[in-house]
Amino acid sequence: MTDLHPIVIPPLEHVHKSLKFSCSGEGLLKDDIPYDPHPERFLPPKATKTNPQPKEVEKKPVSYWKAQCAFRGLNQSGATSDLQLRLREAKKKILPELKTAETELNKEFKKKNKAAKDGKWKSLKTAEQKAKASPSKYLAEAFPKGATGRPANLDIVVLKSPQDVRLALATAAGNADLETVSVDAPWTGGKKPSPDRWMIIGRTRDAVWNQMREIEKEAAGSNTGGGEPKAKKAKVSNDVGASAVRSKTFTATSSSTPKASVTQKPKPSKPDVIKAPQKKQTARKDAFPESSPREHEHPSAPTKPRTKQTARKSVFQSPPPSTESRQAEASSSKVSKGKHAWDVRGSWIISCPEIEGGWGYEGDDPSLTLDIYLEKKNGHHQMYAIFHFRIVTGVMRFEKPIPIPKSEKSGTSNKRKREEDGDGDIDMVDLPSYSEDIKTSEEYTVSDFYLAPNDNPTARRPAWRYRWRGEETGEGEIQLGSDEATRQITFSNKGNELSGTFKCDFIGECHFTGVKTSEQAWGSRVDPEEQWTNRSEDAYEYARISRW
């Protein structure tokens, strides 16, 4: 059906003996109901002596039975029982003249629909319009298969598309073995750009990331008083209009060059009730081709290049830093000296025997990583993390801290202050204990992730609940239902160590530990709401429909 969808014309009509049928390229329909060659499956079974109470069958509406009679040239009048009786006794198939008309109408509809699609496609002027109309067709034109006579790293497109289009593009790009990443759009004339993120697509990961860094560099330069960034004009491919640009160039595909970049202030989102998805998916074990950068994450250039990982491609995944790079950062940081006690922000190396011992890995750097962020946005404080646990990657969002039991609030206030500020040590046996099996509701609102200004991990509040969403790294399938329950992470050693629990479709309840290696989380700040939305049930359905 690749030559049929999307359908852009109305259905064709066919009249047979005063009865109207329609066709949209996939067979005749009578009142939007197709011909069923085996309606007897839904006829109510008759009771017999050996089977006095036969099993009930699926009930069909009267319109279904009328349509089946129409396809067979039977009378359509009467109640449902009358229609069923005619079908039971006649045992007829579709009328030959209707079968012939169906074959001819299918061909005619496909021909007309293709002509309409081609005409509509030619009328689209910009790359963004084409990407929205048909992501796969646009990418096929922008990145033709076979020898093109030019190096693969020169094939780059930068698109200014809204979030839903970026998601569809990322899915289509993954199917076409292309690399994708998105980056914050620079501000122009002190005004917030719309859309506020650009998408970069290319044949190689290095070319895509180089283009991303160039855009971030130009945007950062305009923020430091350097004036308007000097954009380089890109060479444009005739096949895709103003969309193909060389790597290490700054260009826009449908509007003027950005002039200045300022701090973005998104509008506050409404705390709508979120219903945890119910569907489940599976992952493939020990099958991890090379991963690609996550579509919605735009890391800035690290001081040392990250080691490439070998994992099955995912439209959301970005490669975590190498263990060697993390250790190099840790050796020169102040983390080990404890000068920033109980500030848990930064990069962490994670150890989880259940994952590391039970799942094979192909690559130079098999490390498990966690990057924790604290931010204030729209007046709301949030703590969240981006994790790469080899078989699954995604985002964690921490809920309000676990309340301190009233019995634990007694004691010397000055001592408490010293402990919470990290000026003194406290024995772990003196800390309140919390149950791992915390009863929580499957339904929650975004306000559950909003923290008070003083809600930070401390010696007296080391245990924090979190929910997570993510996707498996084999096929990039979103793990629906992962946010139905909360898990827990407990910080220790003045916020430089942690331990926690995790569970996904591929492994049961497992425990992990972590050591902080850097006070700076790898990459630029990410948007927790966008990370969360990109792994919703709607996003899963969109990707599933696009895939098939």
- DSSP-assigned beta bridge partners for residue 510: 502
Q: What is the pLDDT of residue 194?
A: 86
DSSP one-letter string for 330-371? HHHSSTTTTTTTT---EEEEEE-HHHHHHS--EES---EEEE
Rounded CA-CA distance 548/537 in Å is 17
**Other beta carbons less than 10 A from residue 247's beta carbon:** 22
Residue 316 near residue 296, CB atoms below 8 Å: yes
| Cis, bond preceding 320 (omega within 30 deg of 0) | no
Helix axes 537-547, 163-175, angle to 10 degrees: 40
Report CA-CA distances (Å) from 4 to 69, 106, 115, 140: 29, 10, 11, 17
Report CA-CA distances (Å) from 468 to 212, 297, 395, 485, 521: 27, 16, 6, 9, 18
DSSP H or E run through 500 = strand 497-502
Closest CA to 309 of 286, 295, 289: 289
The DSSP symbol for 306 reads P
> Tokens representing 507?
């492994």
Report CA-CA distances (Å) from 436 to 463, 464, 479, 490, 498: 10, 11, 22, 11, 15
Task: Give, for all 548 residues of the chain, the pLDDT tens digit.
Answer: 456 888 889 999 999 999 999 999 999 999 999 999 999 999 998 888 888 888 888 999 999 999 999 999 999 999 999 999 999 998 889 999 999 999 999 999 999 999 998 898 889 999 999 999 889 989 999 999 887 777 877 889 999 989 888 888 999 998 999 999 888 888 877 788 888 889 999 999 889 988 988 888 777 655 544 433 333 333 333 333 333 333 333 333 333 333 333 334 344 444 444 545 444 444 444 433 333 334 344 443 333 333 333 333 333 444 444 444 444 444 434 444 444 678 899 899 999 988 888 776 655 456 789 999 988 877 788 999 999 998 899 999 999 887 665 555 544 445 555 444 444 444 444 444 444 444 556 778 888 899 988 888 998 899 999 999 999 887 788 888 899 889 999 999 999 999 999 998 878 889 999 999 888 776 556 788 888 888 888 777 776 665 55
Secondary structure (H, E, C), 421-459: CCCCCCCHHHCCCCCCCCCCCCEEEHHHHCECCCCCCCC
Residue 47 near residue 54, CB atoms below 8 Å: yes
Report CA-CA distances (Å) from 31 to 19, 66, 173, 529: 10, 9, 38, 43
The DSSP symbol for 290 reads B
Does the predicted TM-score (pTM) go above 0.75? no
Q: Which residues contact 140 (CB under 8 A, 6 or more apart)?
A: 176
DSSP one-letter string for 374-415? EEEETTEEEEEEEEE-SSEEEEEEE-SPPPPPGGGS-S-HHH
- What is the Cβ-side half-sphere exposure of residue 251, based on CA atoms within 13 angstroms? 22
